[in-house]
Chain A
Amino acid sequence: MGDEQFQQLAAEYSSRVLAIARRVCGSDDAALDIHQEVFLTLWKRRRCFTAPVNWNAYLYRTTVRKALEYVQKQRKEKILDPEYEKILSADNNPDDNAQVAELLGRLREALRKLPRHQAQVFILARLEGMDYPQIAKIVGCSEPTARVHLHRALRRLAHLMRDVLEREPV
Chain B
Amino acid sequence: MNHKYIQDNLAAYVLGELDGAAAEQIRTHLSDCADCRRAAEEMQNILRTAERMKDEPLDASLVALARRRLDETLLRLPSSFLSDRLPHPLLRYAAAAVILAGALLALHILGPQTLPDRRTMTVDAQRTGAEESADVFQKELEQTAQAFQKRDIRTLARLLQSEHEPTRLAAADCLAQIGDASVLPALDTLARQWTQVGENPYAKAAQTIRRRLAEQAD
Residues of A within 8 A of B52 (CB): 88-89, 100, 103-104
* Interchain CA distance A138-B78 in the complex, whole Å: 33
Residues of A within 8 A of B197 (CB): none
Residues of A within 8 A of B54 (CB): 23, 126-129
Rounded to whole Å, the gap between the CB of B11 and the closest CB of chain A is 4
Q: Contact at B87–A170, with CB atoms within 8 Å?
A: no
> Taking the complex as formed, is B109 at the interface, i.e. its CB lies under 8 A from any CB of chain A?
no
A93-146: which residues lie under 8 A (CB-CB) from chain B?
100, 103-104, 107, 122, 126-129
Q: Contact at B62–A18, with CB atoms within 8 Å?
A: yes
- A35 touching B84 in the complex, CB below 8 Å, given contacts A3-B132, A88-B56: no
Q: Contact at B66–A18, with CB atoms within 8 Å?
A: yes
Chain-A contact segment, one of B69-77, B145-153, B165-173, B209-217: B69-77
Residues of A within 8 A of B43 (CB): 154-155, 157-158
Chain B at the A interface: SS class: helix
* Interchain CA distance A52-B47 in the complex, whole Å: 36
> Taking the complex as formed, is B90 at the interface, i.e. its CB lies under 8 A from any CB of chain A?
no
> Taking the complex as formed, is B50 at the interface, i.e. its CB lies under 8 A from any CB of chain A?
yes
> Taking the complex as formed, is B46 at the interface, i.e. its CB lies under 8 A from any CB of chain A?
yes
Indicate the size class of the contact surface on chain B: 35 or more
> Taking the complex as formed, is B63 at the interface, i.e. its CB lies under 8 A from any CB of chain A?
yes
Q: Contact at A40–B70, with CB atoms within 8 Å?
A: yes
* Interchain CA distance A40-B84 in the complex, whole Å: 12
Provide a sorted-by-A list of 26 A–B residue pairs whose CB atoms are within 8 angstroms: A14-B66, A14-B70, A15-B58, A15-B63, A18-B58, A22-B56, A26-B53, A31-B66, A35-B70, A36-B70, A40-B70, A43-B74, A43-B77, A44-B84, A46-B84, A103-B45, A107-B46, A107-B49, A126-B50, A126-B54, A150-B15, A154-B47, A155-B7, A158-B43, A161-B42, A165-B42
Residues of A within 8 A of B (CB): 2-4, 10-11, 14-15, 18-19, 22-23, 26, 28, 31-32, 35-36, 39-40, 43-48, 88-89, 100, 103-104, 107, 122, 126-129, 147, 150-152, 154-155, 157-158, 161-162, 165-166, 169-170
Residues of B within 8 A of A (CB): 7, 10-12, 14-15, 17, 38-39, 41-43, 45-54, 56, 58-59, 62-63, 65-67, 69-70, 73-74, 77, 83-85, 87, 131-133, 163
